[in-house]
Amino acid sequence: MAIQWFPGHMNVTKKAITERMKDIDVVIELLDARLPGSSANPMLAELTGSRRKLKVLNKQDLADPVRTEAWLAWYNAQPETRAISLDASDTAPAQRLIKACRELAPNRGGMDKPLRVLICGIPNVGKSTLMNTLVGKKAAKTGDEAGVTRIEQRINLASDFYLFDTPGMLWPKITVERSGYHLAASGAVGRNAYDEEEVALELLRSLKGPYPDLLAARYKLDDASAIPGMHDDVLLELIGRKRGAVMSGGRVNLTKAAEIVLNDFRSSITGRITLETPEEFEVWWAEGQVLEAERQRKKAARLQKKKKGPATAAPADTSNETDDEE
């Protein structure tokens, strides 16, 4: 099952970002340090064009520090891009964000040429918490549900530093399947868009190879070395049994077990975890692009057949259509 979630207000956000971009010097994209590739919005690359970019790996205190360093190096190697990591609730690291923006746009500053910065991010990535930390008061609403912020806000961090906040936004079609599951596991996707048991199984698939010791410790599993070779269904059932998610007759309540696994990950009770490496994500992205190209080819062929037009005719614009038949 592919994960897709693009409520109407996100389309409004896309239009607002497009309009605002005319006046922006630096674009900050707040990422989830636990999924730095999957939480990067590919739509922003189109919307922001050649603007200088600051990638902020937020929630670094929840992520694997070794993998965080690898992701920082990967993003810092990209042109016109800088990357830093921080915990949005920590005041001192948050100030690094302002310094990094000024370094990216050294020709902006002063009352005549104020630095204009746009901050973007997927839902539930911690952007509102960061905004409140930056200004030292509750300037933005916060919450643990996707899509809390719904309107653009401007906050003056200094007399010559304007920060424009935008609602969290995903992209219309998630073409990388693993990214969809990771986004759902993190809470970036609305609960009505996915099946918790399926997402929990995919989460365990991502965890059991690199983090068997954390899983064994959290769920009191006897042999950590056996975890990487376990089938995902078996592992989920074992976790459910260990955590008491057992129904009458001794059957495991897999829905309850899935909720336990997802909640433990989101709250970082399982441990400091990063679900993907740069190398893994690059492979997933390439595979996703190939599959999406094939889906678009089939869609164009279906439309061509329905229209009964010549084979050389250009297909209609169907960018907003879904691929339910695939």
Q: Would you state the pLDDT for residue 122?
A: 86
Question: pLDDT-based confidence at 73, cuts 50/70/90?
Answer: very high
35-39, 128-132, 256-260, 287-291: the lowest-pLDDT one = 128-132
Residue that is written with structure tokens 């008491």 in the block: 244
Q: Would you state the pLDDT for residue 324?
A: 38
The domain spans of the chain are 8-165, 195-266
**Residue 149 scores a pLDDT above 50:** no
CA angle 79, 81, 83 (to 5 degrees): 140
Choices 3.20.20.70, 2.30.30.90, 1.10.10.10, 1.10.1580.10: CATH for 195-266: 1.10.1580.10
Q: Would you state the pLDDT for residue 45?
A: 79
pLDDT in tens, 196-234: 999 999 999 999 999 999 999 999 999 999 999 999 999
Q: Would you state the pLDDT for residue 133?
A: 80
114-118, 221-225, 316-320: the lowest-pLDDT one = 316-320
Sign of CA dihedral 181, 187, 189, 193: positive
Q: Would you state the pLDDT for residue 325?
A: 35
- Across 274-280, average pLDDT: 98
Q: Would you state the pLDDT for residue 127?
A: 86
Q: For residue 96, which of 72, 74, 113 has the smallest C-alpha distance?
A: 72
Question: pLDDT-based confidence at 144, cuts 50/70/90?
Answer: very low
Q: Would you state the pLDDT for residue 57?
A: 96
- Across 155-182, average pLDDT: 85
Q: Would you state the pLDDT for residue 2?
A: 63
Query: For residue 27, what are the contacts with CB-CB under 8 A and spacing of at least 6?
Result: 21, 44, 48, 51, 52, 53, 54, 117, 118, 119, 120
- Across 123-142, average pLDDT: 72
3-17, 148-162, 206-220: the lowest-pLDDT one = 3-17
CA-to-CA distance for 35 and 321, rounded, in angstroms? 27
Q: Would you state the pLDDT for residue 44?
A: 82
Give the highest mean pLDDT range of 44-48, 202-206, 322-326. Answer: 202-206
Question: pLDDT-based confidence at 62, cuts 50/70/90?
Answer: very high
**Residue 262 scores a pLDDT above 60:** yes
Q: Would you state the pLDDT for residue 140?
A: 46
Fold equal for 8-165 and 195-266: no
Question: pLDDT-based confidence at 116, cuts 50/70/90?
Answer: very high
**Residue 311 scores a pLDDT above 70:** no
CB 98 within 8 A of CB 158: yes
**Residue 151 scores a pLDDT above 60:** no
Q: Would you state the pLDDT for residue 114?
A: 93
Query: For residue 222, what are the contacts with CB-CB under 8 A and spacing of at least 6?
Result: 216
**Residue 320 scores a pLDDT above 50:** no
- Across 107-120, average pLDDT: 91
The chain-wide mean pLDDT, for the chain, equals: 85
pLDDT in tens, 50-61: 889 999 999 999
As assigned by CATH, the class of the 8-165 domain is alpha beta
CA 33 to chain centre: 9
114-123, 161-170, 217-226, 231-240: the lowest-pLDDT one = 161-170
